[in-house]
Chains A and B, each alone.
Chain A
Amino acid sequence: MSQPPPARDPGLQPERTALAWQRTALSVAMIALLLAFACLRGGFLVGTAIAALIALGAGATLFAARRGATRSTGTSPWTALTRIAVLLIATAALGAVFALIVLL
């Protein structure tokens, strides 16, 4: 059960986890930017501002992203997971509002 912590994992799990964080944060930033442009086109400027903020937050997550994952013991992803989930929920809510605006 208890392996020596510095042992290198041949499955590269910490590296894979860090990469998963990277592509998730990048995708959130991309979608938020897409939504920002869509809102800009639709004349929904408040939406553009919010989406740009979300993209900034995702970018910050990208650089802060789970350096913990590359260490192999004793860190919790909870804060980072919560942050990325909240960013995505905000994007979804904004997208829903934008769809409603187009719908009505």
Chain B
Amino acid sequence: MDDRSAQGATPGAHDERRPRSVYGVGRDPDVRFSLANERTALAWVRTGLSLVAGGVALTTVAAIADLPWVIDLVALVACLAGGALAASALFSWRRVERALREDRPLPAPAALPWLVGGVVVLALVLGVFALVEIAQAA
């Protein structure tokens, strides 16, 4: 057992954990905080995953039912946004872990306003699309 968890322990030369940009600074926080940070990152990954899933489902439906190109465009954007969320999960995990280790206040969740904005825009686009469809059918 090394002294990593001891209070005030400085990162030792034997600490092999990567990335060094995180584990090279500060000292180990309470392990529960690190685990919570890890789960938060995973939750973000799953959020991105659900966007990709929605995109794939929309594309499949569009291919089967011969829907207009707008739906396919929405699916494309959803897929790309899901991939971007996965990348953002990785980087925000690193930022938060650094803040935990240096005992700084946590950074604001940068992806959250983007996600909310994106969902609002998605809802508006699909709503307008539905209205246009209804108007055309009438």
Taking chain B's interface residues, is the majority helix, strand, or loop, or is none over half, making it mixed? helix
B38→A92 contact, CB < 8 A: no
Known: A2-B6, A89-B86, A92-B79. A99 touches B32 (CB 8 A): no
CB pair A31–B52 under 8 Å, yes or no, is yes
Interface size class of B (residues with CB under 8 A): 35 or more
Q: Which residues of A contact B84 (CB under 8 A)?
A: 92
Interface pick from B41-49, B104-112, B122-130? B41-49
Q: How large is the interface on A (under 10, 10 to 19, 20 to 34, 35 or more residues)?
A: 35 or more
Among candidates B2, B28, B79, residue contacting A96 with C-beta atoms closer than 8 Å = B79
Closest to B19 in A: A78
Q: Quick one: closest A residue to B2, CB to CB?
A: A74
B87 touches A89 (CB 8 A): yes
- The answer to whether B87 and A17 touch across the interface, beta carbons within 8 angstroms, is no
State whether B39 touches A28 (Cβ < 8 A): no
A99 touches B35 (CB 8 A): no
Do residues B79 and A88 form an inter-chain contact, with CB atoms below 8 A?
no
Q: Is the Cβ of A82 less than 8 Å from the Cβ of B35?
A: no
B46 touches A99 (CB 8 A): no
What separation, in Å, do the CA atoms of A66 and B31 have in the docked complex? 15
- Contacting residues, chain B, for A24 (C-beta < 8 A): 42, 45-46, 49
CA A75 to CA B1, docked complex, whole Å: 13
What residues of B have a CB within 8 angstroms of the CB of A34 in the complex? 53, 56-57
Flag if A41 contacts B60 (CB, 8 Å): yes
